Chain A
Amino acid sequence: MPELITLEHKVLKRNDEIAANNRRLFQEQGIRVVNLISSPGAGKTSLLEATLRQIKGLIRVAVIEGDVQTDNDARRIAAFDIPVVQMVTNGVCHLDAQMIAESLHQLPLNEIDLLCIENVGNLVCPASYDLGEEAKVVVASTTEGDDKPEKYPAIFHRAKAMVINKIDLLPYVSCNLDLLSGNALKVNPGLSIFPVSATTGEGIRSWCDWILQYSHSKRKDGS
């Protein structure tokens, strides 16, 4: 006899539960966590490098690198002499909460103020997976066209901030910064926007101020 069962269960329930555990652990340890998401080649690793140059001496930073293959990115970050874990997903197009939980065993949690997670280069899948982070940050770039927020609304909607990288290339590409920002604000009116060039360092200061505000507000919480 067929039986009809009503469930209303979230399909990613298991991931969300692990993410909630991660989040609890981060709160206990007083770690602020940022999840960087972009398409491949937008410059997440370069942005991280430029960010680390500014803030490394000010707060204690660690990095989790997510890549489909290779540990190239982790080696670039390791040059800063900070804790870094490379997660190779072997074809999986996003990091999930379980991968983060596993990589935390390799990090000195009581010596970290800010954890930057560099997700796998992809604007679709990482948007669905909560890792336990406090903020998703979407990294767009001027070489990608200004309609990205219309094509990938989920990630632009869920992000707390958008970094627009490669503004040094603006004279050579057809990207319109106002249009890109306007499109992003349509799907997410509360989005903080930081146009930067990881190459020249332009704009990196205000982006870092935003990151530092995060870490400082944590300290004021007394955690």
Chain B
Amino acid sequence: MVAGMHEISIARSLLELLSDQQCARSFARVRRANVRIGPLSGIDGVALRSAFNLIATGTCAEGCFLEIESAVLKAKCKSCSSLFEIRNYVFACDVCQSRDIELLAGDEIVLSEMEVESLEEEGLCPN
């Protein structure tokens, strides 16, 4: 899938986040980054990866492998307190059918972890 405009914007924010981390922690480059995306984020993982690869050239994340983890929609019922997974985007309790529910996960775009290569020599922020 070709990267969409949306994924390019998200990829740019992701790259900013990685560059900020590089300044704060002084590492040489990012080898792998894990991103967790929920179904309500509207993000296509494959498109995000191609957008990211495209704009990471010449940055600390050049050649970084973007691992995409898909989150599931999880909710808690405010009536019967059941925890359940939302399927087919039907926002109702699995157990008591109440529609008064709280979304716990599934709308996130989160950089969960990254694997970095340390700087061999001491130095300032390499940006």
Contacts and interface: CB of A to CB of B under 8 A. Distances in A.
Interface in B86-101: 89-92, 99-100
A35 to B, nearest CB: 15
Interface residues of A, number: 36
Interface in B6-56: 6, 9-10, 13-14, 16-17, 21, 25, 27, 31, 35, 39-43
Contacts of B99: 189-190
A68 to B, nearest CB: 9
Nearest to B36: A8
Interface string A1-33: 111111111111111000000000000000000
Task: Name A's interface SS.
Answer: mixed
B97 to A, nearest CB: 11
B33 to A, nearest CB: 9
Contacts of A48: none
Scoring A1, A8, A12 by chain B CB atoms within 10 A of each residue's CB, the highest score goes to: A12
A154 interface: yes
A91 B5 CA distance: 8
B83 to A, nearest CB: 18
A12 B5 contact: no
B108 A92 contact: no
Contact of A125 (B14, B42, B107, B110): B42
A7 B10 contact: no
A157 B41 CA distance: 11
A189 B109 contact: no
Q: How large is the interface on B (under 10, 10 to 19, 20 to 34, 35 or more residues)?
A: 35 or more
A203 interface: no
B114 interface: yes
A24 B42 CA distance: 27
Contacts of A93: 5-6, 9
A127 interface: yes
Contact of A10 (B21, B42, B109): B109
Contacts of A10: 108-111
B117 interface: yes
B118 interface: yes
Interface of B: 4-6, 9-10, 13-14, 16-17, 21, 25, 27, 31, 35, 39-43, 89-92, 99-100, 103, 107-118
Given A10-B108, A188-B91, 20 more contacts: A1-B117, A2-B115, A3-B27, A3-B115, A6-B112, A7-B111, A7-B114, A8-B110, A8-B112, A10-B111, A11-B13, A12-B10, A12-B109, A93-B9, A94-B9, A96-B9, A125-B5, A128-B43, A189-B99, A190-B99
